[in-house]
Chains A and B, each alone.
Chain A
Amino acid sequence: MNPKTAHILSAIYIGISGIFCAFLYRYNIELNDLKKLNYSDLQLLEANNNAAIKYFFLALLLVIIAFFLLFILFKTFSYDADNNAKNFFKTLFLGIVIILMLILIIKLISIPILQLILRITVAGSIIMGFFASTSN
């Protein structure tokens, strides 16, 4: 891929994930407030029209896209090192920012949304497993 295209795509990704992180941070505070009001895990996940699940899927998508972008930047990295010093530093900078965004997304999604999702998934699996064993 053309290095310029890779840089523009990376910049768009950084912008989108920055906005996503800001919204996620705000929603995490909202969820913590709801937790203090003794909401159950199920109610927390279903709050605001299943917003927590939407955030989780968006975070998953952004993490996967980040890996693809890092792969593309890595491919252009060696090309830039040989041909254009300015582009090389741009690629290096964008790669580092993408890694930082990745860490931020994982950190923000893990508490409390991922914890809730894991608890609900385990509970749902146990319920379905129990019904499957009793229905056979």
Chain B
Amino acid sequence: MKKFFSKYFSLIVSPKKRTDLKKAKDLDKLTDLKKLNYNTLILEKNRLIANDNSKRWLLTGIYGVFYVSIVGLLSATSFAYIRQYIKLLFTSNVNEDKLATAKLATIIISGSSLVLMAALTFALFLFLKVQQNRKELILLYEYEEKRREEEKNES
């Protein structure tokens, strides 16, 4: 458990370690691809390309539009609540209880919006990262295919 935490902590703090890990993973994948049968390599590459069609990018685009509209709505609502609460603070003859209720409503609305916005941003990041990894994998398959073809031509 301690080893697990120290490994992930060092990965979080050090960008160099993250790059090294990514490189090591790519090299492992490349070694695995070298061991693969030529026909299996082509079949897997085709399957990956078929999965990476325009439909996925369309979905990413739709999520992007959804993200922008939801984040816009949440930030505008929070901003309106905070502005209205500040106005209320500077208004004289306001009941203490009413002021406390408005304060709590502002905290709840802006806090929930902040948490939701953070989650949506993380999901967008995850979505793009999955797409990027898939693209990198296709490039590795293409590299291995080209290498084998060159090897065949040389011999």
Contacts and interface: CB of A to CB of B under 8 A. Distances in A.
A23 B90 CA distance: 38
A60 interface: yes
The secondary structure that dominates the A interface is helix
Given A131-B87, A131-B91, A132-B84, A124 B119 contact: no
In this complex, which of A45, A57, A125, A127 has the most chain B Cβ atoms within 10 angstroms of its Cβ?
A127
A51 interface: no
Interface residues of A, number: 23
B4 A8 contact: yes
Nearest to B98: A127
Interface string A43-75: 001100000010011001100100010000000
Contacts of A64: 115-116, 119
Contacts of A99: none
A61 B116 CA distance: 9
Contacts of A60: 112, 115
The secondary structure that dominates the B interface is helix
B153 interface: no
Interface stretch (A31-39, A77-85, A89-97, A115-123): A115-123
A57 B4 CA distance: 28
Contact of A121 (B97, B105, B115, B119): B105
Contacts of A120: 101, 104-105, 108
A42 B101 CA distance: 7
Given A57-B111, A64-B115, A64-B119, A123 B101 contact: yes
Contacts of A61: 115
Contacts of A104: none
A64 B109 CA distance: 17
Interface string B75-93: 0000001001101100100
B100 A46 contact: yes
Of all A-B residue pairs in the complex, the 10 with the closest CB atoms, nearest first, are A124-B105, A128-B84, A64-B119, A124-B101, A124-B102, A121-B105, A127-B98, A123-B101, A127-B102, A120-B104
9 contacts: A5-B4, A42-B100, A64-B116, A68-B123, A117-B108, A120-B101, A124-B108, A131-B94, A132-B84
